[in-house]
Structure 1
Amino acid sequence: MNPLVITVNVKSTVYCDFQLRWYPWDDPHCFLNLKVTNVPSFGLLVDGTSTVTMRPELLEEYEVVECRLQETPHPTNNLTLLVHLTRRYQYHLWTTFLPTSLLAAIGYGTLLLPLEAFAERGSMSLTTLLMFIALYTETNSSLPSTAYLKHIDVWFVFSLIFLTLVINVHLMTFLADSESAGQSVRPTPSRHLTHVSAPPFAKRVRDRMAVPKRILRMSTVLFALVFIIFTLVYFLAIV
């Protein structure tokens, strides 16, 4: 008895329900139910020897990890094809995480500028925030829409809050400096018109800038620790 081999080329569009909470490090599975209509309901048996002989290794956004037929205990004409994919995340590393990390570093760098350079600190941090919002808007338009936060959305939200808090620190130092300046020139009423020697000008300026400088120093250390800890936790969570 000679074996009979039939080859049929079939092209179909299939929609799979993926869970994208860990996007772009998701590891989706897709189950395809195939029904062979030209054989009886007891005509096919899928066991350990049944294999998928040809499959692509790389897709546009995914790598194909596994593609196999699910075994059936009894002969049937319904087949279940399991496709295990893993997303190719390298694209987002270069186009999303690298630019946003550089913007966060530039925003953090404004905390290292001198206290007197408020105009430069304010303009640089605000420009960085606006550039980040533009990048986030452009990137978000190409991401899959979900009703929940994806892993990449968490990164965007943290970076947005990080840069916003940097601007708030600059505003706090400006307000603290203005308040100290107002107190240093405020006259002290006295009932006796006696001559009181004023402290040297350099000392008054130094005392006035003590609080804003302390705010900047504390913010520099705190923001660095928060960013490093968040980055470690963020990327260790996907391991």
Structure 2
Amino acid sequence: MFKMYRSILILWFISLNFKNIKCQKPSKGPDLDCPSLDKGDSYTQSEFLSRLAHECRYDKLLLPSYQTGDAVDVHASAYIYFIQPAEAHDLNFKFHFLLQLRWTDPRLAYQLYSPERVKIIGGNDLRNQVWIPHLYMSNEQSSGLMGTDSKDVLLSIAPDGEVLFSRRLQAVFYCWMNLQKFPFDEQKCSMNLESWKYNSSSLRLMWEEETPVRLSPDLHLTEYALLDYWTNESFVKSDILNMRLGGGKTTGNFSALKFTFKLGREVGYYLMDYFIPSMMIVATSWVTFWLQADAAAPRVTLGTSTMLSFITLASSQSKTLPKVSYIKASEIWFLGCTGFIFSALVEFAFVNTIWRRKKAVNLKEVSSKYILKNALTPKLARKELQKEMQSDSSPQLSKSQSCSSLRAGGGGGGGGFNNFLTVHSMPAVSVPTITADEGDTNDQGGDKGKGAQAWTTMTPQDIAIWIDKRARLMFPLLFIFFNIIYWTFVYCL
């Protein structure tokens, strides 16, 4: 009985093992079902590429140098079609350019399999089958492909495995501008290319040695002139806390490329539409100096209209600028011109006030010092004038008295003069007789010899006209001096 059960168990185990062997599929070898590359010249380009990049021998998720562990050198170049600097308040510019990347993938070398084939060229379909470096523009605000994927993406594979990837892009890049010398400023903007997925130990970016960036001969700028441009290579450090690259999951130094260009703003538009009109408005405000001081209506109308016109001109220009904390060169010009126009209004108010005074003015000398002193502080000037007149008249009075005493002493024997001579035993001296008229004449001659001042009387109207005449010359000279300083600062500093 025991032998019978044992034989049944043996038969049952044998049957189970037979079923497992029957259901098990034979294992595939490494080259089993992998399309052959023999007779590669007889295949079409699509057939040959599908065999060359088949998943059995090519993994597009792996770096071309994954077997050796070396870094992949990716050479970049750009062809610029179009540059459009935006308005200053947007702080950006637009690029239309062709970006070309070149690297070598040994897995795609087909020279031994298809020696007659010169090059494999394709579009977006070929791009989806091979490894492409993942780059991004770190200072972009927006970007996109120009046209369609099949039209503006080109990829070619050389027989030695060199891959050339071309892509036409349009992008808006952020550019911080220094507007302290606006509109005579020069700006430096850049396009930054960085590796996103691989650090510098796996992928290195570098510019082509010859002409890394080329400009289209049809490239023209409107508001700016392209002064210079250059390229450089650098590294960007990333760590766990920095989510700038790779989502913060990859550390190390990431390779980066930068293309920088220098733009100079064209000032012709601002000269014709801002500076020259503002000069004309300031000069128009000087017309009030040729109008009579009591012509209040025309002088006020002319002064206020020029002020409002210049404010309107300045505000229309400032709308295109960002609100920055520092003072710009255009604002210095605005403040200077506003000061000249406002000073012309103040000058009119000053001379009109003087014109309406009633009392005439006695001046010791017709000069700016005495006229302006009397015009600004008339009461104080009159008091000082009275003191000066009294001080000038007192020496003449003392001189006439001394002459009278001298004449009286000459006739008697006991006068002071004779006593002086007697005491000192001096010889007799004949003293001339001086009359009051002669003394006055001699005094006047002596004062003239010493530069005595002639007193002048001016009416308030004369003073107002005198100030207007001086303003006609002073204001243009000061404005010319302001222009010399301003344009020296703009072009020399």
Measured in 1, the distance between the counterparts of 2:204 and 2:233 equals 14
Residue matched to 2:332: 154
- Say whether residues 1:100 and 2:284 are aligned partners: no
Aligned-pair RMSD on alpha carbons?
2.7
Tell me which of 15, 18, 29 is aligned to 2:174.
Answer: 15
- Say whether residues 1:91 and 2:91 are aligned partners: no
Residue matched to 1:213: 465
Q: How many residues of Structure 1 are paired with residues of Structure 2 in the alignment?
A: 216
Residue matched to 1:166: 344
Q: State whether residues 45 and 72 of structure 1, in contact with CA within 8 Å, keep that contact through their aligned partners in structure 2.
A: no
Q: What SS does the aligned partner of 2:273 have?
A: helix
Residue 48 of structure 1: how far off its partner (Å): 5.5
**Paired letter, 1:153:** E
- Say whether residues 1:25 and 2:184 are aligned partners: yes
- What is the TM-score when the length of structure 2 is the normalising length? 0.40
Q: What SS does the aligned partner of 1:70 have?
A: strand
- What is the TM-score when the length of structure 1 is the normalising length? 0.79
Residue 217 of structure 1: how far off its partner (Å): 2.0
**Paired letter, 2:478:** V
Tell me which of 161, 164, 167 is aligned to 1:5.
Answer: 164
Measured in 2, the distance between the counterparts of 1:95 and 1:45 equals 45
**Paired letter, 2:314:** Y
Tell me which of 50, 62, 65 is aligned to 2:227.
Answer: 65
Residue matched to 2:303: 125
Q: Any gaps of 5 or more consecutive residues in structure 2?
A: 1-159, 236-253, 361-456
Alignment of 1:186-201 (within 5 A): none
Report Cα offsets for 1:167-196 as digits up to 9, x if no partner: 0000000001112xx225xxxxxxxxxxxx
Q: State whether residues 226 and 261 of structure 2, in contact with CA within 8 Å, keep that contact through their aligned partners in structure 1.
A: yes
Q: What SS does the aligned partner of 2:214 have?
A: coil
Measured in 2, the distance between the counterparts of 1:47 and 1:7 equals 14
* Identity %, equivalent residues: 22
Q: State whether residues 43 and 77 of structure 1, in contact with CA within 8 Å, keep that contact through their aligned partners in structure 2.
A: yes
Measured in 2, the distance between the counterparts of 1:70 and 1:25 equals 27
Q: Which structure has more RCO (C-alpha within 8 Å, separation ≥ 6)?
A: 1
Report Cα offsets for 1:123-153 as digits up to 9, x if no partner: 2112111222222222222333221111011
Q: State whether residues 233 and 256 of structure 2, in contact with CA within 8 Å, keep that contact through their aligned partners in structure 1.
A: no
Q: State whether residues 68 and 83 of structure 1, in contact with CA within 8 Å, keep that contact through their aligned partners in structure 2.
A: yes
Q: What SS does the aligned partner of 1:44 have?
A: strand
CA separation of 1:183 and 1:207: change in aligned 2, threshold 3 A: closer
Q: What SS does the aligned partner of 2:264 have?
A: strand
Residue matched to 1:111: 289
Residue matched to 2:478: 226
Measured in 2, the distance between the counterparts of 1:39 and 1:136 equals 52
Measured in 1, the distance between the counterparts of 2:262 and 2:306 equals 40
Q: State whether residues 289 and 471 of structure 2, in contact with CA within 8 Å, keep that contact through their aligned partners in structure 1.
A: yes
**Paired letter, 2:164:** V
Q: What SS does the aligned partner of 1:49 have?
A: coil
**Paired letter, 1:66:** D
Deviates more, 1:218-227 or 1:116-125: 116-125
Measured in 2, the distance between the counterparts of 1:161 and 1:208 equals 27
Q: State whether residues 57 and 63 of structure 1, in contact with CA within 8 Å, keep that contact through their aligned partners in structure 2.
A: no
Residue 78 of structure 1: how far off its partner (Å): 1.2
Residue 39 of structure 1: how far off its partner (Å): 7.7
Residue 227 of structure 1: how far off its partner (Å): 0.3
Residue matched to 1:195: none
Measured in 2, the distance between the counterparts of 1:43 and 1:133 equals 55
Deviates more, 1:162-171 or 1:120-129: 120-129
CA separation of 1:7 and 1:37: change in aligned 2, threshold 3 A: farther
Greater Rg over alpha carbons, structure? 2
CA separation of 1:77 and 1:8: change in aligned 2, threshold 3 A: farther
**Paired letter, 1:235:** W
Residue matched to 1:187: none
Q: Which contiguous aligned blocks of 4+ residues in structure 1 show a shift greater than 6 angstroms?
A: none
